[in-house]
Structure 1
Amino acid sequence: MTAQAQPLPAVLPGEDPVRGEASARSDAPPRERLLRAATELFCRHGIHAVGVDAVVAAAGTAKATLYKLFGSKERLVETVLEAEGQAWRDWFLGGLEAGEASPRERLDRIFPLLAEWFRDERFYGCPFINAVGEHDKRDDRVRNLTLAHKRQVAARLRALLAEAGAPDPDALVHEVGLLIDGAIVTALVTRDPEVGAVGARALASLLDNALPGAAPRRRKRA
């Protein structure tokens, strides 16, 4: 994510969760242990529900170490969000870009990737959406971090839409973004594995109508 120790996100498929005693025995540096613990606890339980005492207990560090490294819980929250955003973008955008594929084929990967995330037992939703929901709606600090993350994702999706021939990729990327965000929230609330398949059908219909020369596809209901 940055020049810091490589973060291990709590919200991506295939990662091991933080466990308090196991984390305390880890040979990882205190900063990494604190980030692991804070990420798992904030994503699972909510930022305001978790105090610094719970974070340091799970990380196996002293409270003074947390404040020395991060200065405050607020800065720890920001660091977790920045790290989670980078890790998610690396995973999601990396999945879109993997191997040889046309722009449309890459766009069609969006919801299969999200479905993989939704099916993970440790899927806790989008940490940015969750954080904005928890904070004062007039507080721009968390909102600005969220917008920065969304702009980076949207920029790559917009480029793919332009490469696929979209006549108005600026407008279309907002529609795609609404499908993505809506699916993430719906998957979190319902825990329904069908959400990814529904999103895939909605995206395919949108792209079939928006991209020039796109032949409507017969899609099976998953």
Structure 2
Amino acid sequence: MRPKAVPNPHALPSEDALGAKPAALEGEPRARERILQAATRLFCQYGINAVGVDAVVAEAATAKATLYKAFGSKERLVEIVLEKEGAAWRDWFLGQLLDGEATPLTRLRRIFPVLREWFGDAQFFGCPFINAVAEHDKRDDRLRRIALAHKKVVLETLAGLAAEAGARDPNGVAHQLGVLIDGAIVAAMITKDPNVALMAGRTADLLLSGMAAEAA
């Protein structure tokens, strides 16, 4: 989900590959982590509904019984993958904004250059939360709640920076930036053009300049 040095995801396993599960690997304590890593790669690239349990265990070189013992169900595996990826992405993204000495306004202006870095990564397949909610029954709030919990942390950080910068309505600024972030993510996923981040950034600059003028 975020820029990181990982191998390119494999193609979905063939029927022949699904039968090969080295028994020697079943008792390894890292089997759960291998399943999580495999599920993350496959879900992000191919979509949750397109990837079955057989594909995940084949990619992880383990057995279905190991997956069900560790996670209980595919649904729970999906939830844990989203929670884990969300935490990792927030650590990376918010860490980039908050790194080093800078004014709150400068930190907010980092948003879209940082996103451009993500969009240009070979492993960028869009936002797992947006993708997951889009794939599933829109009346099912299970994944939406996880997505909103992730979004809440990001928006609270942006609102805090906006408040420090003197914004009259820091929550409003954060939500406007959030809309620009989400729009840029979807546009980058569709167009495969990382520069859409800079287009969104120019719009954000207008918002932030107006905010700064009000605070002056």
After TM superposition, is the score higher than 0.5? yes
* Contact 1:208–1:214, Cα closer than 8 Å, also in 2: no
| Residue of structure 1 equivalent to 2:6 | 16
1:151 corresponds to which letter in structure 2?
Answer: K
2:194 corresponds to which letter in structure 1?
Answer: P
* Contact 1:107–1:160, Cα closer than 8 Å, also in 2: yes
Tell me, yes or no, if structure 1 residue 104 matches structure 2 residue 115. Answer: no
| Residue of structure 2 equivalent to 1:94 | 95
Q: 1:90, 1:80 → 2: CA distance?
A: 15
Q: 1:170, 1:153 → 2: CA distance?
A: 11
User: What does 1:68-217 correspond to in 2, within 5 Å?
Assistant: 68-212=69-213
Q: 2:77, 2:113 → 1: CA distance?
A: 32
Q: Cα deviations across residues 105-129 of structure 1 (Å, max 9, x unaligned)?
A: 1001101110000001110000000
After TM superposition, the structure 1 stretch with the greater mean CA deviation from structure 2, 190-199 or 141-150, is 190-199
SS in 1 for 2:213: coil
* Contact 1:103–1:163, Cα closer than 8 Å, also in 2: yes
SS in 2 for 1:165: coil
- After TM superposition, the score normalised by the length of structure 2 is 0.89
| Residue of structure 1 equivalent to 2:61 | 60
RMSD over equivalenced CA pairs, Å: 2.0
Q: Aligned-pair distance for 1:16?
A: 0.4
Q: Aligned-pair distance for 1:200?
A: 1.4
Count of matched residue pairs: 203
* Contact 1:33–1:59, Cα closer than 8 Å, also in 2: yes
| Residue of structure 2 equivalent to 1:220 | none
Question: Which blocks of at least 5 consecutive residues in structure 1 are unaligned?
Answer: 1-10, 216-222
1:193 corresponds to which letter in structure 2?
Answer: P
Q: Aligned-pair distance for 1:166?
A: 0.4
Q: 2:97, 2:203 → 1: CA distance?
A: 18
1:110 corresponds to which letter in structure 2?
Answer: I
After TM superposition, the structure 1 stretch with the greater mean CA deviation from structure 2, 193-202 or 105-114, is 193-202
Q: Aligned-pair distance for 1:214?
A: 7.4
Q: Aligned-pair distance for 1:194?
A: 1.6
Q: CA 1:31–1:57 in structure 2 vs 1: closer, same or farther (change >3 Å)?
A: same
- The share of aligned pairs that are identical, in percent, is 60
Q: Aligned-pair distance for 1:212?
A: 3.0
| Residue of structure 2 equivalent to 1:5 | none
Question: Which blocks of at least 5 consecutive residues in structure 2 are unaligned?
Answer: none
Q: Aligned-pair distance for 1:28?
A: 7.2
Q: 1:138, 1:196 → 2: CA distance?
A: 31
Higher relative contact order (CA 8 A, sep 6+): 2
- After TM superposition, the score normalised by the length of structure 1 is 0.87
Q: Cα deviations across residues 110-157 of structure 1 (Å, max 9, x unaligned)?
A: 011100000011100000000000010000000000000000100000
